[in-house]
Amino acid sequence: VLKLDRCRGVLKVTGTDRAIIDVRRQLESLGGPRRPVQQAVWAELMRTRTLETTSRVSVAWLQQMSGCRVHIERSQQEVRLFGPKETVAIAD
């Protein structure tokens, strides 16, 4: 069970140990580091971002291999990596 105390800015989680671990993992995945990339890399990521293939030139491949979500910023040459620390480290 999740309860948000807006006044104190606290999320209260109750449940099984496994459920609490799952919630912690989800919360950890909400934020992600920003990584600047070179113009050529950014352009290639933008070009291949919608490819569903798992070829080594696609964002889908990177996400599948690392287990984290890769977000390409459209307004600047950077990517954000979302996921648990261990999956972000793989994609990084």
Domain extent for 19: 1-30
Inter-residue contact 54 to 66 (CB < 8 Å): no
Q: How many domains in the chain?
A: 2
Both 21 and 41 in one domain: the answer is no
Spatial distance between the Cα atoms of 44 and 18, rounded to a whole number of angstroms: 40
pLDDT at 92: 83
pLDDT at 2: 85
Both 39 and 60 in one domain: the answer is yes
Both 45 and 23 in one domain: the answer is no
pLDDT at 25: 85
Both 37 and 52 in one domain: the answer is yes
Both 23 and 60 in one domain: the answer is no
DSSP 2: E
Both 3 and 41 in one domain: the answer is no
List the chain pLDDT tens, one digit each, 92 residues: 889 889 998 989 999 999 999 998 888 888 889 999 999 999 988 888 777 766 666 788 888 889 999 999 999 999 999 998 888 999 88
